[in-house]
Amino acid sequence: MSDYLSSRARRVKPFHVMDLLARAQQMQAQGREVLHLEVGEPDFATAQPIIDAGISALEKQYTHYTPATGLPELRQAVAEYYARKFAVTIDASRIIITPGASGALQLALCCLLDAGDEVLLSDPGYPCNRNIAELLGIKTRALPVSAEQNYQLSAGQIEAEWNERTRAAMVSTPSNPTGTRLEAQSMQALLVAVAHKQGHLIVDEIYQGLVYDADDGTALQYSSDGFVINSFSKYFGMTGWRLGWMVVPENYVSAVDRMAQNLFLAAPTPSQYAALAAFLPETEVILQLRRAEFQQRRDYLLPALQALGFEIARQPEGAFYIYANGSAITGDAFRWSCNLLEQTGVAVTPGVDFGDYQAGQHLRFAYTRPMAELQRAVQLIDQFIQHSKQA
């Protein structure tokens, strides 16, 4: 049997964290305690009103395709959500329901870039966005973003780095892995810089709603030109339901519709009916309590990691990640994370998963586990560091 693999399949990079996760699961199967600070999904179950709506959809046999752009009621509910939360008016026709933010990203990239075109992104940044682009034959250029620029692309970088092949830039706010946000002014400057180049800004707002000590926002407050991606995965706690959405400029709706028809046919129907309950006031109460719990966890973990010797140059204002510089503790964060897992059962994600820039010095800690587990993890990391110093 041939084992031929396309060059794109050969090129796509693995997630080191998946190897780490596999090892962690193996250790658990052998009866060892493993504390998962590597996982990028909420530990909470989907809120009950959403589950009830999902069950009801199945009982009513809502199991056929919806239109490729999504259930009209859900598109309308998303439009009302923007109006309620951010006082922006968006016509529901501009909202496309997708299989997760991942599906939205594929649509945006397919719509805006040809093979050989280039997209600018941040390093560090969420690796799948970059890998999806590369799978499509799009050139990716990840620009180093420092703590001083809040780990976000700047308008100056767009001005300086844009070339004749560049068609788009992609940002994520709040960011994975850093939890930092693009403030209103920086977002506006980026939109202007990209428009000046006659390009497009793709804005990944998947962690919207999980913002702690700043005002939450959306790029849609400043422009209707961007491709704004969102998801039911994180704030709404629906990772496994595979549902997201994208707001596109009016003149792109029909192209995105055609693309969606061919790529996915439609997002999962029972999930779309379930998601209608994501906007109910009783669900909002549950989600806000969870947001408060994430904030408490962050407020515990951040100083606890600093006390262990990690440098956290920027206060993460959103998502559920802390991006920490461990160079005072180790010269090789990747190897350190492997040893930490083997010796203590604490799993964290090494910086190499998010790019090249200072990757060997950084680690991402996800506070997606209950407080007691975070406290136990900090204790074990402390012991591990003390032990390594003596060795």
Ligand X SMILES: Cc1ncc(COP(=O)(O)O)c(C=O)c1O
Q: Which residues bind ligand X (CB under 6 A)?
A: 40, 100-102, 126, 172, 176, 204, 206, 231, 233, 239, 244
* Distance, CA of 312 to chain centre: 20
Q: Which residues contact 356 (CB under 8 A, 6 or more apart)?
A: 123, 142
Q: How far is the CB of 242 from ligand X (least distance, A)?
A: 7
Residue with nearest beta carbon to ligand X = 100
Q: How far is the CB of 382 from ligand X (least distance, A)?
A: 28
**Nearest residue (CB) to ligand X, 130 versus 200:** 130
**Nearest residue (CB) to ligand X, 162 versus 235:** 235
Q: Dihedral sign for Cα 114, 115, 117, 123, please.
A: positive
Cβ distance 273 to 56 under 8 Å?
A: yes
Identity of residue 53:
A
Nearest residue to 185 via CA among 173, 176, 168, 200? 173
**Nearest residue (CB) to ligand X, 348 versus 378:** 348
Q: How far is the CB of 303 from ligand X (least distance, A)?
A: 25
Q: How far is the CB of 151 from ligand X (least distance, A)?
A: 13
Q: How far is the CB of 309 from ligand X (least distance, A)?
A: 27
**Nearest residue (CB) to ligand X, 201 versus 381:** 201
**Nearest residue (CB) to ligand X, 152 versus 172:** 172
Q: How far is the CB of 389 from ligand X (least distance, A)?
A: 34
Nearest residue to 322 via CA among 305, 343, 336, 347? 305
Q: What residue spans of 136-175 are helical by DSSP H?
A: 155-161
Q: What residue spans of the chain are helical by DSSP H?
A: 7-11, 16-29, 48-59, 72-86, 100-112, 127-135, 155-161, 184-196, 253-263, 269-276, 281-308, 333-344, 371-390
**Nearest residue (CB) to ligand X, 230 versus 330:** 230
